[in-house]
Chain A
Amino acid sequence: MKILTGLQKASKGRVLLNGVDLLNTKPYPISQVGYLPQHFDMYGNVSGYDLLAYVFDLKKIKGSKKEAIDEVVEQFHLSSVIHQRIGKYSGGFKRRLGIAQAVIGKPKLLIIDEPTAGLDPEERVQFRHYLSNISRDTMTLITTHIIEDVELYSQQIVILKDHSIIFDGSVNTIISESQSNIRTVETDFSSIEPLRKKVTIIEEKRLTADRFKVWYIGHDDEVLGSYPAKEISLEHAYIYFQKK
């Protein structure tokens, strides 16, 4: 993320945005790339409106400042707090203000680091809706450890492991590629521990007081009574690629 946003140099490689080399463009084109860091925070005594006005001027956006600010305030439902001090904002409002400052001026690329980290479940759902709406018009790149963030709306998923890309494709592709390698078995509590030693377990689900359903990475004949898993979630596929 830091390399993509120009905050860190790359030892090799290039970052191209519509043919423009971002890393060699001086100064870094902040008007074309919106960025929301993971730990977005601003001085508590600054109002949300003043921050957006400052970012508007820093990005050197052409057009009416008021209209641009009003547009993002409405888009992210910030009107009730926009003139208040940021110190009074809840975590959800702060995150919304963060995305508003990234989106203002309609950048071509939006980079968001851990978009829903620190938000409660309700705010997460709302924030995902914002991301899906933004991604219709803007190329949106997010990094996350929370699978639900990408499951519903992402068109392309890239999985990194040990600084290398181990998967690059759609949700359907990742699931289909992992499906043949994930099996499931129903077992009782006493059999789970030996099973853990034998195979790599992806998920355990309790069916009754003593019955469990287990998803694991494996092939035929390894575990008696196992069968190919019928429904694979993105989380299963993600763990498979991380552990295979």
Chain B
Amino acid sequence: MRIYTFKKNNSFIDHYFKIYDPHGWKIMLTLIMLFVLFVYSIWHSAPSNYLESLKEKYKLISVDRLFDYTVPLLSALIVNLAFFQDYKIGTYEFLSYYHSDTFNRSILYRWLFVVIPFCIGTLISASVYYSHFFDLTGLLLSIRFLPNIFFLSALMLCSTVVAKNSYVGLFVTCLYFVLDLFSEGRFFKLFSIGANMNNVYYSISSQYYLLNRFLVCLAAVCFLFISVYHRRKKRKWV
């Protein structure tokens, strides 16, 4: 009888908790935040007439702000924390050498290690928040917020990687966040992450809302592409 065995060789996964998150305190911090979010969602859930209020074109700002703005900001801040040392002590150059493919997949994996728990946490907490228990309506309502997490986290990553400076990433992301929040989405229009909070679906149109969600996702993909693409500038002699 022939026996086949195989071993999946993934250096990044094998070493993640020894190199990028020793003792797992970054993931612990993420999980603690998500747990607090979950508890908050149980105790301070959305009003029972939430959907009816939306259909009446009300903007439920204080209800939707949590998942439209606060959770994506927390996710972006954890991304900043995860990459902070790379640009503070210059480790990125050393790591770039060892991830010399066209796409630096380690950056993408590290980003996913933060964003995936936030997405799962949001799906669970937002389901509870909006429908008081897990059901299809709650799941559909919670999916609305995932593009915001992708977008803000990818913006943080992109601006950090391109500028090779974590503070620049923090500044750019916070600037976008503040302008978008206080202008109630008017400043960035189709690229606003406040489409749920500002009830764009009913107050403008469903097409506008879906286009906004699509463009926010597309922008996140573009930011990720820019972040992981290995830019090897040509050396020009003077």
Contacts and interface: CB of A to CB of B under 8 A. Distances in A.
B234 A43 contact: no
A27 B100 contact: yes
A244 interface: no
18 contacts: A7-B93, A7-B96, A8-B232, A8-B234, A9-B235, A10-B234, A10-B235, A11-B235, A26-B101, A27-B101, A30-B100, A39-B89, A39-B93, A44-B85, A45-B22, A58-B98, A163-B237, A163-B238
B233 A8 contact: yes
A15 to B, nearest CB: 12
Q: In terms of DSSP, what is the predominant structure of the interface of chain A?
A: loop
A6 B91 CA distance: 17
B100 A6 contact: yes
Contacts, number: 86
Given A11-B237, A57-B11, A57-B14, A51 B19 contact: yes
Given A37-B97, A163-B237, A50 B18 contact: yes
Contacts of B9: 57, 60
Given A7-B100, A39-B89, 10 more contacts: A2-B235, A10-B234, A41-B94, A43-B19, A43-B91, A45-B23, A47-B22, A50-B18, A55-B98, A58-B98
Interface in B45-100: 85, 89-91, 93-94, 96-100
A46 B18 contact: yes
Instruction: Sort A-B residue pairs by CB-CB distance and give the 8 closest, nearest first.
Output: A57-B11, A28-B100, A50-B18, A9-B232, A41-B89, A9-B234, A54-B15, A58-B98
Interface in B1-42: 9, 11, 14-15, 18-20, 22-23
Interface in A48-84: 50-51, 53-55, 57-60
Contact of B235 (A8, A35, A41, A45): A8
Nearest to B22: A45
Interface string A1-39: 011011111110000000000000011101000010101
Contacts of A153: none
Interface in B98-137: 98-102
A223 interface: no
A9 B235 CA distance: 6
Nearest to B17: A50
A42 interface: yes
A179 to B, nearest CB: 31
Contacts of B14: 57
B73 to A, nearest CB: 25
A157 B9 CA distance: 41
A130 interface: no
B11 A50 contact: no
Contact of A46 (B19, B97, B98): B19
Contacts of B237: 11, 163
A47 B9 CA distance: 22
A7 B97 contact: yes
A65 to B, nearest CB: 11
A57 B15 contact: yes
Interface string B208-238: 0000000000000000000000001111111
Contacts of A50: 15, 18-19, 22
Contacts of A51: 19
A26 B100 CA distance: 9
Q: Which of A8, A10, A27, A58 has the most CB of B within 10 A?
A: A58
Contacts of A45: 22-23
Interface string A194-223: 000000000000000000000000000000
A81 to B, nearest CB: 16
A58 B235 contact: no
Nearest to B18: A50
